Amino acid sequence: MGVPQRRERVFFIGHKKELRYPKLKLQFKEEIIPFREVRDKDGREPTRFTKELLKIKKPTDRKLSDINKRLYGEKRASCFNHALVWDNMVAPTITAGGEFYKMCNDKKMSDNDFIKCQTFPKDYNFDTQKVQYVCGMSVAPIMMEKIAKQIYIQWLK
């Protein structure tokens, strides 16, 4: 839907039965947007321990827990909410917590990375809230725009 992240959502869109609107058809066939097209060059430094783990990452790893599992076995496969974000793939769902590491430079995603992946305007005022938290708790604005546009075209125009 024009959002550079894998973000599955279920929307319930209803109307009063007596309005007799036709069945709403939402079919979006947007091109996928790989992370490399939206990411910043830099990022925040990870911990020394994480840097060491990232040195032995494999292209099939999606989370730090994949690396931990390989090194320490099932019992120490922690860090399941620490995502590895690869340039050639669509970014994973931005969550309100956890860590996101850019595999192009092994740094943490920046606030600008979160903003771009979630399609917030560059000048959006997050006030005192953490950018990642707001992005993780929100529906992507571009996604909502496309749904609202279809509701307008199919039911209200």
% of residues, the chain, pLDDT over 90 = 82
Once rounded to an integer, what is the mean pLDDT over residues 92-116? 97
pLDDT for 113: 97
Taken in order of first residue, the domains within the chain and their CATH numbers are: 30-156 (3.90.120)
What does the pLDDT average to over 94-118?
Answer: 97
* pTM for the whole structure: 0.90
Distance between CA atoms of 91 and 70, rounded to whole angstroms? 23
Residues 157, 153: Cα–Cα separation, whole Å: 5
pLDDT bracket for residue 11 (50, 70, 90): confident
| pLDDT grade for 77, boundaries at 50, 70 and 90 | low
- Contact between 98 and 78 (Cβ < 8 Å): no
In angstroms, the CA 24 to CA 153 distance is: 10
Judged by DSSP in three states, 82 sits in: strand
Whole-angstrom Cα distance, residue 26 to residue 143? 12
Residue 22 has a pLDDT of 95
Closest-CA residue to 139 (of 27, 37, 8)? 8
Q: Give the mean model confidence (pLDDT) for residues 88-117.
A: 97
